[in-house]
Amino acid sequence: MRLLLLGNEALAYGSLAAGVAVATAYPGTPSTEVLETLEEFKDRFVYWAANEKTAFELSYGAALAGARALVAMKHVGLNVASDPLHSAAYTGVEGGFLIITADDPWMYSSQNEQDTRWYGLQAYIPVLEPSNPVEAYKMAKDGFALSEKLKHPVMLRSVTRVSHVRAPVEIEHPAPPKWGRFTKDVKRFCLVPTNARERKKALLEKWEKIQDIASEYIQTEGSGDVFIVTSGVAYNYVKEAVRRLNIKAVIVKLGIVVPTPRKVADIVDKSAVVVEEGDPVLELQLRSLGISTRGKLNGYFPKFGELDINKVAMGIAKAVGVPYNPPQPPRPPLEPPPRPPVLCPGCPHMATFYILKVATAGLNPVWSGDIGCYSLGINMGQQDVITHMGSSVGLGSGITVAGRHFVVATIGDSTFYHAALPQLIDVVGKSIPILIVVMDNSYTAMTGGQPSPSRFLPAEKITEALGLPTFVIDPVDVKRSIEIVKKAVEIVKNGKPAVVISRRPCVLMAIRKARRLGVQIPKYQVDLEKCKSCGLCYNLLKCSAISKRPDGKAYVDPALCVGCGVCAEVCPFNAFKLEGRKEIWLEIWKQA
Amino acid sequence: METGIVIVGVGGQGVLTLARWLGEAAMAEGYDVRIAEVHGMSQRGGSVEVHVRIGREVYAPIVEEGGADFVIALEALEALRAYRYLKPNGILVVNKRIIQPPGKWYNLNDTLDAIRRSGIKTYIVPCYDIALELGSVLYENSVMLGFVSKLLGLSMPPSLDENNRKAFLRGMSLI
Ligand code: SF4
Ligand code: SF4
């Protein structure tokens, strides 16, 4: 069967063809669709874990017992899983174990650009690098076989332009899942120091062997006296650049980059142009093999962002000494305005931010943010620091302790379970006076709406068990919520921590549900007579369906409004009027 | 044939689906296809940009600036943003719709006039109006699909449902 598949879908189908039995992940762009695709297959164990570490542990454990298992995550997710990752090479595995990571060059949807191939080097785990969805399919399938042959975990590094690229892919039927049974072997699986020392010796020997096996994944094409060594998505740009520059070159494409096979030194004649996406991981290894390189290290290709045909053609042209004139982009007749990502119209987080702003007026809080949709609160001036999953409570506590600030830590429900539970224990332990706001929309929404643990474990059960004063609000009920949040603010002002849980499901999920049920979604319109151009709705609330007309009055785009009614609660002049009915809609939304 | 297409719009307009439909249609005709999508953060009401490359043998997934044969914009201001991708003889197709960006107010007709006068071959297509006529803004992208399929000489992709087929045919009938 030939399908137009995303790279991530191809990875899933390749794993199915290899008989994957256990698949786990925590959602994160650009890795999410691997598990989303596998979710359809009910004869396997497929699970969205609380975070990447727990996901890794589930699959690693299954592979120790001989099952074929995979774990998928985005590049920064591997940091969370890095503890078990480093032990995995020491014990090895019994069943095939594939660790899929998706890097995000240019940070389309991430806080940093990290190249996960470094982890392969550091943890002694070989890294496969597919260049397109067809190869992603094949390498996922082969990766299981390789892992099982070596009895060693195998990493597969994708990047945005492999994971989120569609191409025609020929797929086979899924193979039946391969489960396993655990066989005890204390010397191998219990990494107490005496055992671990033995394992490290064995690991180093195995690494040599892996380096030889990596040679089998070298492909060379073309002829000439220029050698271009490349891997992954970069290969595609090299192919087209060589064609465009009309030069004769040998393209050496590596399927396994970590460890870089020694055999490359026999193929290339002392010197090579190196083209790779991310950091110079390949280039440094080539240098250590005695090859002199022209690549990122000496400035032939940019050290950050993603490659394209132009950047690659320009670099190769310079390295080889041929002319290249890139196409001249035309200039638009008008400068386009910036259009940053914003909270969706009707997003419950929009109302929560408004409520928090009003309830903390005069306190000049530090807004300690986190990773998820609510980081878009940055557009409302309500995110002052965002660094990683769980940073809101963790860093927020530090900021509180340092400067007697009033800190509001905003965190989504999925992120709360992913990364904030241990931090809560510290908050309780030192009674740190911080206002923690769990923005519970019942989904991991930024990545498309995967289930979050809040669907079976409400956050207040945890915060109350820890003895934290907890208040639950419904953010579309703006005025009432403000009064409740003020109580929590008082507690924090008196030197104690408090928690607010703002609960209303993601509006996108609610819209989907209403459409399925055939329920009309109401809208609001502005009565221009009543609007006094006060700006409260477009300046403070910032619903993206509302704009400021040239005369200062508000305008609601009817195609964007989803009838949450928050603007109507906020407007002091009653200028928003409802079109349609909203009771049934609000109820469906609440149950979404 | 080797064609580079950049499709743009605002998150939520169905840009990804439009690109996938085009890719399916091209694949059905035996072409190799690469579609580079954007997901996650970049989609939330912000600018969305999807690249489609169609040919006998395609490698690079993204179109470079100055390298697109077609820019298809589901929103007028996004047409301005993607303008830099056009080849000098490239073609711009713009939906007659504006989604106000945060901050400043833009007038639809003034924006379209500026584009029309810019010297690039331009089609302005009332996908939004037709979609509303058909009952929902959701059909905007299938009207556009019909229009550009006619331009590109591609047929209707197999996966459209009945309402989207209707919208597709309306789009096709516009040229
Ligand atoms: S809050 Fe009410 S009065 Fe103020 S600008 Fe908005 S619609 Fe007009
Ligand atoms: S009801 Fe008001 S606040 Fe809610 S989406 Fe519509 S315009 Fe925005």
Q: Where are the domains of chain B?
A: 2-127
Q: Which ligand 2 atom sits closest to the C-alpha of A537?
A: 3
A496 lies in the same domain as A582: no
The pLDDT, as a whole number, for residue A192 is 94
List pLDDT tens digits, range A550-589. Answer: 999 999 999 999 999 999 999 999 999 999 999 999 999 9
Same domain, A24 and A89: yes
Vertex A26, ends A22 and A32: CA angle to 5°?
90
Count the domains in chain A.
4
Instruction: Compute the mean pLDDT over every residue in chain A, rounded to the nearest whole number.
Output: 96
Mean pLDDT of A180-203: 96
**pLDDT on residue A511:** 95
Q: Within a domain: residue A395?
A: yes
pLDDT digits (tens, 9 = 90+) for B97-155: 999 999 899 999 999 999 999 989 999 999 999 999 999 999 999 999 999 999 999 99
Average pLDDT over residues A300-307: 96
Q: What is the architecture of the domain spanning B2-127?
A: 3-Layer(aba) Sandwich (3.40)
8 Å CB contact between A468 and A406: no
Q: Is the peptide bond before A130 cis (omega within 30 degrees of 0)?
A: no
> Confidence band (pLDDT; 50, 70, 90) for B44?
confident
**For position B175, what pLDDT does the model report?**
85
Domain check: are A293 and A381 in the same one? no
Residue among A32, A233, A336 whose CB faces B81 most closely? A336
Which residues from A are below 8 Å from B26, CB to CB? none
The answer for B153, left when phi > 0, alpha when psi is -120 to 50, beta otherwise, is: left
The domain boundary, picked from A472, A504, A536, lies at: A504
Q: Over the stretch B51-69, which tens digit does the pLDDT of each residue have?
A: 999 999 999 999 999 999 9
The answer to whether residues A259 and A143 belong to one domain is no
**Domain containing A585: what range?**
510-590
**A209 in a structural domain:** no
The rounded Å distance from CA A557 to ligand 2 centre is: 9
Least confident of A43-57, A72-86, A288-302, A439-453: A439-453
Give me ligand 1 centre to Cα A224, in Å. 70
Where is B157: in which H helix or E strand?
none
The answer to the question of whether A537 is labelled as a binding residue is: yes
Q: Whose CA is nearest to atom 4 of ligand 2?
A: A564
For residue B158, what pLDDT band results from cuts at 50, 70 and 90? confident
Q: Which residues pair with B72 in a beta bridge?
A: B7, B93
Nearest CB to B67 within list A327, A341, A559 = A327
pLDDT confidence bin for A418, thresholds 50/70/90: very high
Contact between A162 and A116 (Cβ < 8 Å): no
Question: Judged by CB atoms within 8 Å, which residues 357-396 of A form the interface with B?
Answer: 373, 376, 379
Tell me the C-alpha distance between A241 and A312, whole Å: 7
Are the beta carbons of B131 and B137 closer than 8 angstroms? yes
Q: What is this structure's pTM?
A: 0.94
DSSP string computed for A481-540: HHHHHHHHHHHHHTT--EEEEEE---HHHHHHHHHHHTPPPPEEEE-TTT-----IIIII
Question: Over the stretch A350-374, which tens digit does the pLDDT of each residue have?
Answer: 999 999 999 999 999 999 999 999 9
Assign B42 a pLDDT band (cuts: 50, 70, 90): low
The residue whose C-alpha atom lies closest to atom 2 belonging to ligand 1 is A571
- Alpha-carbon gap: B111 to the closest alpha carbon of chain A (Å): 8
User: What is residue A70's three-state secondary structure?
Assistant: strand
The pLDDT value recorded for residue A204 is: 97
A14's tokens? 């390749």
**Percentage with pLDDT > 70 across chain A:** 100
Are A384 and A293 contained in the same domain? Answer: no
Tell me how far apart the alpha carbons of residues A492 and B121 are, in angstroms, rounded to a whole number.
Answer: 62
A73 and A158 both lie in a single domain: yes
As beta bridge partners, residue A74 has A102
Q: A261 phi and psi, to 5 degrees?
A: -65, 140
Q: What is the 3-state secondary structure (H, E, C) of B56-113?
A: CCCCCCCCCCCCEEEEEECCHHHHHHHHHHEEEEEEEEEECCCCCCCCCCCCHHHHHH
Whether the pLDDT of residue A535 is over 60: the answer is yes
Taking the C-alpha atoms of residue A197 and residue A226, their distance in angstroms, rounded to an integer, is: 44
Helix %, strand %, coil % for chain A, to 5? 40, 20, 40
**Pairing assessment for the beta strands A546-548 and A523-526 based on DSSP bridges:** unpaired
pLDDT of residue B1: 56
Count CB-CB contacts under 10 A for residue A479.
10
My answer on whether A530 and A494 are in the same domain is no
CA dihedral A397, A402, A404, A405 (to 10 degrees): -60
Ligand 1 atom closest to Cα of A534? 4
Q: Same domain for A46 and A66?
A: yes
Q: Which ligand is nearest to the CA of A567?
A: 2
Both A487 and A521 in a single domain? Answer: no
- Which helix (H) or strand (E) is B18 found in, with range? helix B15-28
Which residue blocks in A81-157 are alpha helix, DSSP H? 82-91, 117-123, 133-150
Work out the number of other CB atoms within 10 angstroms of the CB of residue A41. 15
Amino acid B39: pLDDT:
82
| Residues of chain A contacting B106 with CB distance shorter than 8 Å | 337
Average confidence (pLDDT) over A131-144: 98
Q: Are residues A494 and A538 in the same domain?
A: no
Residue A204 within a domain? no
Pair (A75, A148) in one structural domain:
yes
As beta bridge partners, residue A279 has none
Probe site for chain A from B5, B29, B32, B44 (most A CB atoms < 10 A): B44
- Tally of CA atoms within 13 A in the half-sphere of A498 that contains its CB: 19
The secondary element (H helix, E strand) that includes residue A61 is: helix A52-64
CA of A552 from ligand 1 middle (Å) equals 9
Whether A156 maps to a domain, the answer reads: yes
| DSSP-derived secondary structure letter, A304 | S
| Structure tokens belonging to residue B163 | 């309402």
Tell me the CA–centroid distance for residue A367 and ligand 2, in Å.
24
CATH of the domain at A43: 3.40.50.970
Question: What is the bridge-based pairing of β-strands A256-258 and A127-128?
Answer: antiparallel
- Identify which of A216, A81, A88 has the alpha carbon closest to the alpha carbon of residue A152: A88
Res. B40: pLDDT tops 80: no
8 A C-beta contact, residue A549 and residue A333: no
Q: What is chain B's mean pLDDT, rounded?
A: 94
Q: Is A534 in the pocket of ligand 1 (CB under 6 A)?
A: yes
Q: What is the CATH number of the domain that holds A274?
A: 3.40.50.920
CA nearest to A268, candidates A303, A295, A236? A295
φ/ψ of A285, rounded to 5, equals -70, -35
Residue A524 belongs to a domain with what CATH number?
A: 3.30.70.20
Tokens 């994944």 sit at which residue?
A217
Q: Note whether residue A484 is domain-resident.
A: yes
B66 CB burial (10 A radius; 0-12, 13-18, 19+): middle
pLDDT of residue A79: 97
The reply, when asked if residue A344 is annotated as ligand binding, is no
| Over residues A43-49, mean pLDDT | 97
